[in-house]
Amino acid sequence: MAREFSRTQRIADQIQRDLAQLIQFEIKDPRLGMVTVSHVRVSRDLGYADIFVTVMPLGEQDEQETVKASLKVLRNAAGFLRAELSRQSNIRSMPHLRFHFDESVERGRHLHGLIEKAVRLENDKPGSDENEE
């Protein structure tokens, strides 16, 4: 069991590295924002690869619209990307690519903001430890 997991993890890591380069250099769609492949999860039977991406809007673009447009571009290019990945690697059968927006980064940013706000409110209270010193 452990060997199978390590193989799928190695394949996921290789797909992540190769896919990041392919997206950066091969896809020329202007609707595509700055895309980062944050995580790849490959199923045990190598049938599917779930690719989690983060998207940063370019210029004055709306973040939500950029995410939607970028995911649409990536999903449309999934066949091309899969073919290029299989050409570059020695995997017998390349998994189907499924793209998802990675919300963990945004969730972390939101939680960090809440923590900073709570600390600021605590420090501004009269009678707090820092104000008494």
**CATH code for the domain in which residue 50 is found:** 3.30.300.20
Count of domains forming the chain: 2
The parent domain of residue 117 ranges over 104-133
The model's confidence at residue 133, banded by pLDDT at 50, 70 and 90, is: very low
Same domain assignment for residues 19 and 73: yes
Q: What does the pLDDT read at residue 43?
A: 93
Both 123 and 73 in one domain: the answer is no
Q: Higher-confidence residue: 109 or 20?
A: 20
Q: Is residue 8 located within the same domain as residue 52?
A: yes
Same domain, 54 and 110: no
Instruction: Name the average pLDDT for the chain.
Output: 87
Q: Are 58 and 69 in contact (CB under 8 A)?
A: no
How many Å apart are CA 49 and CA 71, to the nearest integer? 15
Which pLDDT tens digit goes with each residue over 25-64? Answer: 999 888 888 899 999 999 989 999 999 999 988 777 788 8
Residue 88 shares a structural domain with residue 112: no
Predicted TM-score (pTM) of this structure: 0.77
Residue 30: how many other CB atoms lie within 10 Å: 8
H-helix or E-strand spanning residue 105: helix 104-124
